[in-house]
Chains A and B, each alone.
Chain A
């Protein structure tokens, strides 16, 4: 049973005139099963966050057009009104955003912020909401939870704020938790704590998880499957073990090589991917990665490659590259 099923999602932001519109998400399809955890990996501007905001129906304010289908728990979210979507946000899908300092309202105590939707929509009164919030803070590992409820965001440390944000996201027991770069703003030592916390909560509360990150190291330990995004498209998707074992797309391979490793000799240069990611206003012809790809051939610029399953023995491992994963004659998939 899929909690989330996204099919052919496209996000286009209108420009000042017809020619300058930006397509930030292109034909993105993925599924998340109940209790499953999916990692979405890509660098800045690859469309990962845009995809998730589109899922939550939160791009309308910016004037973006979203097409495709987003099915959450059997409901087509793209057919819902903003008012109906509000009923899904928070209670069906929880969102943890990346910078916990800017993601918390500086003018409101965290207790008040946490309690707000509980009181407004879930029938709590002040007291029961405060109890629930203290319980949640305890659950995310914040000591002296009761006193912390009165604290303002600037009085908490970065790790603490991120925990508060996680507590807020799970407060209405969503079936799906979307964590958008939850560890980017944190120290390395706190990063792993927060990741372990998210992983633990997912198991305890039986949530599905979408973990968005630019860091392959982050998703390695906590996700079942990984989707790699580049230039607004999914270029590879596989189970986590499979992806690390046999990365198919040249971009995935290059990403893996640029992860710093302990066993490298001191003084070795960290391999980097040359060039810059494409700007959505001027996507390169054909494969989006082709200008930076070391394996690129002439035909890579001809058309956008399809997501294909290069090895029938490795079912569910899809790669969008005609060079490393040529489309088999039959059984081609998009």
Chain B
């Protein structure tokens, strides 16, 4: 297992390099001039040229890429133009908030999705199974920003039981206060993924549940709960884990919308602000962080696959 993880880890290196090329290239193709964005439209051409030279923007793209890459290795993501602080600093204080939000959301989506999907698969065609199908269709048809706004209207503005925006109350508060602030954004983020995971789990469980080895487990007197947990789910997991991994990735990118709707101080909100103020170093940094997280999640998925399927691990 350890060699598998190491081997898989080495395979990440070229992918990560590709990611840096992409984020760097993105900075190049975004229309607009950084110097103009910084100095404003009324600035003189000389001032802008001086700033470009100052920022190194007048050098050829290839050499700027290697400077960028070199800086990355030393943890330098450049300087945010709008915050006037290092991008790494801006992002690192927000990354934890984003991970808290998206991590909770994916755990909620995975646990509930697997549980609901498995539960529905116990009786295909039953009321609960049809209910699942309808629920999945509904949740997958609802755009997350709309769901977020509706939740705010209902729970914050009308029922007044949950806070609508931010991460803590103005007066400050402990973990419980933060948890209350998390409820609506987590629901918003998790809804889509939960539906996808539940549907995938349902079909994966149905595929496995009539297998001979499930029958064998039953014939040996093992209770239905343990039959499902020990014999059905582990064999249904490979396809479910793939979907959970994909959803975790989508969820990270989904934080841009959700964090904007709920003013959650995370990477997504920073990214949204950076894009509207043409803060290209911050955009690059934000996308890099999300892309690296995506790659890491994919690696975790592969490790999980190997855990559930001994044939992969030993191959």
- Mark A residues whose CB is within 8 Å of B: 56, 58, 82-83, 86-91, 94-95, 97, 99, 102-109, 116-117, 120-121, 152, 154, 165, 168-169, 172
Contact = CB atoms under 8 A, between A and B. Distances in A.
Interface in B63-89: none
A116 B230 contact: yes
A152 B231 CA distance: 14
Given A103-B212, A103-B215, A105-B213, A117 B220 contact: yes
A116 B211 CA distance: 18
A109 B230 CA distance: 12
Contacts of B211: 102
A117 B222 contact: yes
Interface of B: 211-213, 215-224, 226, 230-231, 234-235, 308-311, 314
Given A95-B216, A165-B216, A108 B234 contact: yes
A183 to B, nearest CB: 16
A210 to B, nearest CB: 13
A172 B219 CA distance: 12
Contact of B221 (A99, A104, A117): A117
B221 A102 contact: no
Contacts, number: 81
Given A107-B235, A116-B230, A95 B221 contact: no
10 contacts: A86-B223, A90-B220, A91-B221, A104-B213, A104-B216, A106-B213, A106-B309, A107-B308, A108-B234, A117-B222
A212 B109 CA distance: 46
Contact of B219 (A89, A104, A106, A154): A89
A107 B312 CA distance: 11
Given A105-B216, A172-B221, 10 more contacts: A58-B219, A90-B220, A95-B216, A97-B219, A103-B215, A105-B217, A105-B234, A105-B235, A108-B234, A152-B310
A97 B212 contact: yes
A90 to B, nearest CB: 3
A233 to B, nearest CB: 24
Nearest to A109: B310
B311 A102 contact: no
Contacts of A106: 213, 235, 309-311
Given A102-B211, A120-B226, A121-B221, A107 B310 contact: yes
B213 to A, nearest CB: 4
A56 B314 CA distance: 37
A88 B235 contact: no
Contacts of A116: 217, 220, 222, 226, 230
Given A97-B216, A103-B212, A120-B226, A87 B221 contact: yes
Nearest to A165: B216
Contact of A58 (B215, B226, B310): B215
Contact of A154 (B213, B223, B311): B311
A228 B311 CA distance: 42
Which interface residue of B219, B224, B234 has the most chain A CB atoms within 10 A?
B219
A72 B63 CA distance: 83
A107 B234 contact: yes
A290 B153 CA distance: 74
A168 B216 contact: yes
Contacts of A105: 213, 216-217, 231, 234-235
A122 to B, nearest CB: 10
A257 B219 CA distance: 35
Contacts of A58: 215, 218-219
Given A107-B235, A108-B234, A97 B215 contact: yes
Contacts of A90: 219-222
Contacts of B309: 106-107
Contacts of A102: 211-213
Contacts of B213: 102-106
A121 B222 CA distance: 8
Contacts of B217: 105, 116
B235 to A, nearest CB: 5
Nearest to A151: B310
Contacts of A107: 234-235, 308-310
Contacts of A89: 218-221
B187 to A, nearest CB: 33
A108 B308 CA distance: 9
A194 B23 CA distance: 63
Contact of A95 (B219, B230, B310): B219
Contacts of B226: 116, 120
Nearest to B218: A58
The 9 A-B residue pairs with the shortest CB-CB distance, nearest first, are: A90-B221, A90-B220, A95-B219, A89-B221, A102-B212, A103-B212, A105-B213, A107-B234, A152-B310
B52 to A, nearest CB: 59
A108 B58 CA distance: 60
Which interface residue of B211, B216, B230 has the most chain A CB atoms within 10 A?
B216
A89 B220 CA distance: 5
Contacts of A87: 221
Contacts of A121: 221
Nearest to B235: A107
B216 to A, nearest CB: 5
Nearest to A104: B213
B216 A103 contact: yes
B42 to A, nearest CB: 67
Contacts of A152: 310-311, 314
Nearest to B231: A105
Which interface residue of B213, B222, B226, B310 has the most chain A CB atoms within 10 A?
B213
